[in-house]
Structure 1
Amino acid sequence: MMSPEEALAHFVVAHPLAEVPADALRTTRRVLLAASSTGVAGAGEDGVAELRALLRERGGTPQATTLVFGDRMPAVAAAQLNGTMCRALDFCDAMAPGPHFGAALVPACLAAAELRGGCSGAELLAALAVGCEVGARFNLSERQYDGFDPTGIAAVFAATAGAARVLGLDAAQAQRALGLAFNRCGGSFQSHIDGTLGVRLLQGWVAAAGVEGAQMAQRGLTGPLNFLQGVYGFPHLYGRGTLAPGDVVAGLGREWRLQRMMFKPYPSCGATQGLTELVLALVQERGLTAEQVAQVEVRQPPYSHRLVGHPFKLGANPRVDAQFSAAWCVANAIVRRGSTLDHFRPEQVADPAVLALVDRVHTVGDPAMDERGHTAVDVIVTTADGTRHTRGLDIAPGFPGRPLSDAQHRAR
């Protein structure tokens, strides 16, 4: 009988594309579309030019290609830059309570494909499917993460699994690669709260770690083989007493967790999707204008509130400040009657009309809302004449239970 680690490695290298369910393949294709399109669109965002210059300065063997620029770099470096670009707009795929898989997995697989000398579309799709599934199985609960950035914990396994599949590693090598990935876990939500480029840079590091771990394992370098069952394995470090090693691989290949992926209708944090939708609905239904609004109260579960409910502060990276601010997203939706990529440009984030309304938005973390789910939110808008308009939802748009339509995916 295979150990959980062996079962996971065997799945990574041998699960046939033909046995991936149609709906899981559909999700996988959407992951590829989302990551590649946001990567191209993110090429001009803050930090990309500086990171590109640094990686070019380091030099190295030209093994893989960067998106948009066409630079030839070492595969690890190309994956790092491409991953950073894919996350820059925060408009890629995600999964509750916060990991972003595609923006690391797709760059890792593309770099691995160039290392290998090319791969077919079917091989790439298989690698993306198993990578997404592996990442989904390492995804944790809000309580287990408790401030860790889920991308730095779960997505590193996704990127490593995908790169291992593309490079043609055998099961023993894949197990070593996943053990190395375990040693690369890390990252904090403090990057988001402080409005730093660390959010997108972590995505690049995760993509690079996936390629590097697979390359190392291919050459015989070892990581912990008992990264699930070991006394200091993943469940011990991150499961907080509520995760068993077998939980990660239960139903592997039969039950597909990647279908919990979500795709955002609005280009901001997943915790702002519901409140943006509610505010836009009120604006449309009631014809509300910023001048009419005396106060807005936003109530969220504590996990979401800690991430986006802090007071808005305009800092060195305005897009990040806005992406992870409930107050700014509410004010923007009221003032501009929409929420688009252009609204998050630095000069738009600093628009005095939006900032004036931000000061009238108050956020509350309500523990009683936990039972309603990760994306639950209530919005109460009070107008100057004292009228209160209240709206609420439990499942935000784009999340499982409320997926985007094909037309909405194309519109993104």
Structure 2
Amino acid sequence: MSDALTFIHTLRWDDLPRRVQAQAKRCLRDLIGVAAGGLGTDLSRIIRDHAAEDLPGTAPMLFDNRAAAPAAAAMAAGMTIDSLDGHDGYNPSKGHIGCPLLPALLVFGHQAQVSGQAFLTALVMGYEFGARAAEAQHATCPDYHTSGSWGAATAAAGGARLLGLSAEQTRQALGIAEYHGPRSQMMRCIDWPTMVKDGSGWGAMCGVSAVQLARRGFTGAPAITVEQAPQVWTGLGEDWRILRQYFKPYPVCRWAQAPVEGVLALRRAHGLTSGDVDRIEVESFHESIRLATARPRTTEEAQYSTSFPCAVALVRGALGPEDLDGDSLRDPEILRLSEGLIMSEDAHANAVFPGTRLARVRLHLRDGRVVQGDWVQPRWDAEAPPTEEELAGKYRALADPILGPERARAIDKAIGQLETGPLTALTDLLYRAP
């Protein structure tokens, strides 16, 4: 049995350092806050309607009064989280572990009526598994695939643990999930942003289906990311990848966040308003430059843009979900700066990507001056994580307007105490509409 298969079923809560236990709760709360923030998007509405009406079943749906088939409920939750690009991520994978993982854990945790501690332990296991599965896949594939591709096997690993599958059933579940996982090409959605996004919901659906099939005796091709990449599966139980997750201060692609930071830094340092600025210039890495939608028509196009979030930041001094849809998409001052923004690719920024995401910003002022900032990185990387108050503030800003402050506080409290009680202490608050 491989180290990965052993790790799936043998990790225990008491084995985890306190920092890892605390990080699990931080990641869980952040994902739930982003899901709440995404409920108002057309993407979330459509996928939840699809799950409830076209794929009916008995699994309760996240922040909805309806139920769906287990795989469909997981798909809807994953796509709802992904509908607002504000969830945590892992630089080496260029993707997001929690987004396809959490929906599968919610489905199977509810089905098996597990304890809160068992759920949190499975969450940590999933982050450790998912990080390494992503690294293995990216090392074997020349094309850059979405989080849903390796997220399918990650979701299956979490489900296999919570349902107590045997080692052989788990092996088959991983093979089924990897074989059928959505090998979707991420840069297609970068060049043409639509609701398919990072494939995470489809990966969650595939992972849940794989567990259900393996439990019934269905067999799958061996998961090559697990069985043929031993160099990746080192450090399990010692080198905690969950501690290397970044968090996002803004609900846009991580590749656009360093340019946004550069704009905000110059705005503050020079006391500027958008009216002082003729145009914005950004130097960054290739993938950031590919986020090229300057006049978005949808929130998906706004979230997968570099120029539009930079323009919003300069005009409004902030960047939140409300700035990425509705009237913001037609704001003439934002569009002036977005369409006039000049982007260029820099060799130094390319060389350090994906481990480091760099950008440098110049503002060309209407009085003829040019102000330039230093190279900047996105905020809240693993090396400089947010404080507890900063991350809690992000959660409240996303959840309070949608769920109401009282329910948002109750969810936060339930997460904080989750290892001491049943999972239902949390899910009773999650499985109903706002």
Structures share fold, TM-score greater than 0.5: yes
Q: Distance in 2 between matches of 1:40 and 1:329?
A: 21
Partner of 2:417: none
Q: Quote how far apart the aligned CAs of 1:142 are.
A: 7.7
Q: Distance in 1 between matches of 2:208 and 2:49?
A: 21
1:224 to 221, 226, 239: 221
Q: Quote how far apart the aligned CAs of 1:75 are.
A: 0.9
Contact kept in structure 1, 2:149 and 2:203, CA below 8 Å: no
Q: Quote how far apart the aligned CAs of 1:147 are.
A: 5.0
Map Cα deviations across residues 28-79 of structure 1 (whole Å, 9 max, x no partner): 21221112222222222112222233223334431x1112212122111111
Q: Distance in 1 between matches of 2:352 and 2:97?
A: 25
Partner of 1:241: none
Shift in CA distance, 143/176, structure 1 to aligned 2, threshold 3 Å: closer
Q: Distance in 2 between matches of 1:144 and 1:356?
A: 43
Percent identity among equivalent residues?
27
Q: Distance in 1 between matches of 2:145 and 2:275?
A: 38
TM-score, with structure 2 as normaliser:
0.84
Q: Distance in 2 between matches of 1:17 and 1:175?
A: 23
- Deviation larger for 279-288 or 143-152: 143-152
Partner of 2:385: 403
Pair 1:331-2:311 in alignment: yes
Q: Quote how far apart the aligned CAs of 1:356 are.
A: 1.0
TM-score, with structure 1 as normaliser:
0.88
Mapping of residues 188-337 of structure 1, within 5 Å? 188-189=185-186, 190-199=188-197, 202-225=199-222, 227-228=224-225, 245-306=229-290, 308=291, 310-315=292-297, 318-337=298-317
Partner of 2:363: 381
Contact kept in structure 2, 1:302 and 1:370, CA below 8 Å: yes
1:176 to 172, 175, 179: 172
Contact kept in structure 2, 1:135 and 1:156, CA below 8 Å: no
Contact kept in structure 2, 1:290 and 1:334, CA below 8 Å: yes
Q: Distance in 2 between matches of 1:88 and 1:33?
A: 17
Contact kept in structure 1, 2:152 and 2:207, CA below 8 Å: yes
Contact kept in structure 2, 1:192 and 1:324, CA below 8 Å: yes
Q: Quote how far apart the aligned CAs of 1:280 are.
A: 1.0
Please report the RMSD computed on the Cα atoms of aligned residues, expressed in angstroms: 2.1
Structure with the larger RCO, 1 or 2 (CA within 8 Å, 6+ apart)? 2
Contact kept in structure 2, 1:396 and 1:402, CA below 8 Å: no
Unaligned runs of 5+ in 1: 234-244
Q: Distance in 2 between matches of 1:156 and 1:175?
A: 13
Partner of 1:123: 118
Shift in CA distance, 220/144, structure 1 to aligned 2, threshold 3 Å: closer
Partner of 2:16: 20
Q: Quote how far apart the aligned CAs of 1:27 are.
A: 2.0
- Deviation larger for 378-387 or 330-339: 378-387
Shift in CA distance, 311/47, structure 1 to aligned 2, threshold 3 Å: closer
Q: Quote how far apart the aligned CAs of 1:352 are.
A: 1.5
Q: Secondary structure at the match of 2:3?
A: helix
Q: Distance in 2 between matches of 1:408 and 1:362?
A: 32
Q: Quote how far apart the aligned CAs of 1:313 are.
A: 3.6
Shift in CA distance, 216/272, structure 1 to aligned 2, threshold 3 Å: same
1:69 to 64, 69, 73: 64
Q: Quote how far apart the aligned CAs of 1:146 are.
A: 5.8
Pair 1:138-2:133 in alignment: yes
Contact kept in structure 2, 1:395 and 1:401, CA below 8 Å: no
Q: Quote how far apart the aligned CAs of 1:298 are.
A: 0.7
- Count of aligned residue pairs for this structure pair: 388
Map Cα deviations across residues 353-388 of structure 1 (whole Å, 9 max, x no partner): 100111221111222323344311111111122222
Q: Specify the code of the residue in structure 1 equivalent to 2:278.
A: A
Unaligned runs of 5+ in 2: 395-434
Q: Secondary structure at the match of 2:39?
A: helix
Contact kept in structure 2, 1:301 and 1:365, CA below 8 Å: yes
Q: Quote how far apart the aligned CAs of 1:222 are.
A: 1.4
Map Cα deviations across residues 153-196 of structure 1 (whole Å, 9 max, x no partner): 33223212111111111222211111112111411221233120
